[in-house]
A = this chain, B = another copy of it.
Amino acid sequence: MAVKVYGPTYASPKRVLMCLIEKEIDFEVVLLDIFKGDHKDPEFLKLQPFGQLPLVQDGDYTLYESRAIIRYYAEKYKSQGTDLLGKTIEDRGLVEQWLEVEAQHFHPPIYDLVLHVLFAPVLGTPSDAKVIRESEEKLGKVLDIYEDRLSKSKYLAGDFFSLADLSHLPFGHYLMNQMKKGYMVRDRKHVSAWWDDISNRPSWNRVLQLYQYPI
């Protein structure tokens, strides 16, 4: 039975889609329109009480939080498709570390940038220039640490592509494209080479071709 992925056009569900493609797992999608409030629908809230995307249904098993879902499939199908957790338990420890860095350090400022630069004008919410300036500054400091790390290893967790790299693509894409802030990546030689490597994976290009971003 194919895995059902809710909300494929949005950024966070793209983590899940890319993971499923890398792991060669069949999936189908359920389209939702958050601009029409589909994520606050009582039937959806029964499955995802926080009213957020993505959500997957796999038979009678339901899971939410994109970084939990990708861990689940990467482990369940460890030997199928691309290995996204590394070879050893120490590799996986580093994958977990950099996945946490993505979630705790990279994501908050880039999310605020996306919200204030791209979504505010569409949603009619205030766009705060101070938040934009501070978020860009914070993100720059994080990318400086990435630059140092990527001068020593090809990918974040080591010399293998993993969930930790994959997790950066959906919001990194906003930075490089819709937000026109690609200089933040291009000004850093090793981050730039890493971005080219991960964003040119066929799996990511398939995600982009199949499910256009809503903004």
Q: Report the bound CA distance from A64 to B92 in whole Å.
A: 13
Enumerate chain B residues within 8 angstroms of A75, measured Cβ to Cβ: 89, 92
A76 sits at the interface (CB 8 A): yes
Chain A's interface: helix, strand, loop or mixed, by majority? helix
CB distance from A141 to the nearest CB of B (A): 9
The winner among A64, A68, A100 for most chain B CB atoms within 10 A is A68
Q: Which of A69, A100, A148 has the most CB of B within 10 A?
A: A100
The segment from A101-109, A168-176, A177-185 found at the interface with B is A101-109
Does the CB pair B93–A63 fall under 8 Å?
A: yes
Interface positions, chain A 92-116, Cβ under 8 Å from B, are 92-94, 96-97, 99-101, 103-105
A63 lies within 8 A of B97 (CB): yes
Interface centre among A93, A105, A149 (most CB of B within 10 A): A93
Cβ of A7 to closest chain B Cβ, rounded Å = 16
- A49 located at the interface, meaning its Cβ lies under 8 Å from any Cβ of chain B in the complex: yes
Task: Tell which of B65, B90, B148 touches A100, judged by Cβ atoms closer than 8 Å.
Answer: B65
Residues on B with C-beta less than 8 A from A97 are 63-65, 68-69
- Interface residues of chain A, those whose CB is within 8 Å of chain B, are 49-50, 61, 63-65, 67-69, 71-72, 75-76, 89-90, 92-94, 96-97, 99-101, 103-105, 145, 148-149
Residues of B within 8 A of A71 (CB): 93, 96
A145 to B49, CA, bound (A): 7
Bound Cα distance A50, B142 (Å): 8
Are the CB atoms of B61 and A90 closer together than 8 Å? yes
